[in-house]
Amino acid sequence: MIVVATENFELYHGVVNELRDRGVTFTTIEPGDPIPESTTVLVTDAQGGIAGGDESVPSDVAVITADPESPRRAVESALAAVRGEGGRTIVGVDPGTRPGIAVLTGETVVAAFHVPLEDAVEVIREEVADAPDPVVRVGNGARLQGATIVNDLDDVRVELVDETGTTPYLGTGARGMGDVLAAVNIARIEGDIVDEREVEPTEGELKVIKNRSREQSARNRAIDEALARRVASGDLTIDEALDEHGDR
């Protein structure tokens, strides 16, 4: 059983709400109270919230020190400890204009995101920030968007994964879930370690970028090829390219 022991109001409510949202059985105690015999994981804070002091915590109880600003991370660590899973964090990414991102601890999906491409790297960095030996697995489809993500993740292990067959069939009511479910499958496939991915955009890909810029332009004018190539490489967003082109 998971036990929460802290006098930090913000931490208490953050952790308790996360546990309730996930339907997890837990209990709370006041710092200094005896730890229940059924305790397997104790969630506390760094300011002495451990019940009764360090010496009173049984050796078979995992102690999770939580940060009030990251209650979800504490809960994920607590659940991993309860399940006895390996501690490695694996992030799967199904690239595209709105990448699907899945975060796994062991075989369990602990978080999922579906965000604009320009936000993807920041989300991934936040998810691996405190993880020991994390790995990010990026699908090899959507070449240009995938290259943008790979090239911006220069301080974490990145693997390029053959994503063939990773997008599942979606039944009625599951529309919009495909990218995230594909990211889960990608996370479970070992790939080739890469430091960067150089991709030369095709004429068709540049044409798509130009057409999108025309649609977003106040003057109904497309950006030139040089700017389109910078968009393709991830150096600029279409909005930034339009600003440089003077079409705002």
Q: Nearest-CA neighbor of 61 among 86, 87, 35, 32? A: 35
- Residues 6 or more apart whose CB falls under 8 angstroms from that of 129 comprise none
Q: What is the pTM of this model?
A: 0.69
Nearest-angstrom CA–CA distance, 46 and 196: 38
pLDDT at 52: 46
pLDDT at 155: 86
Q: What are phi and psi of 42, to 5 degrees?
A: -115, 120
pLDDT at 85: 58
Nearest-angstrom CA–CA distance, 205 and 42: 52
In the predicted model, residues of the chain with pLDDT beneath 70 are 47-55, 85-87, 247-248
Domains and CATH numbers, the chain: 2-83 (3.40.50.2300), 89-193 (3.30.420.140), 203-245 (no CATH)
118: number of CA atoms within 13 Å, CB side?
A: 8
Which tokens hold the place of 49? 């919230």
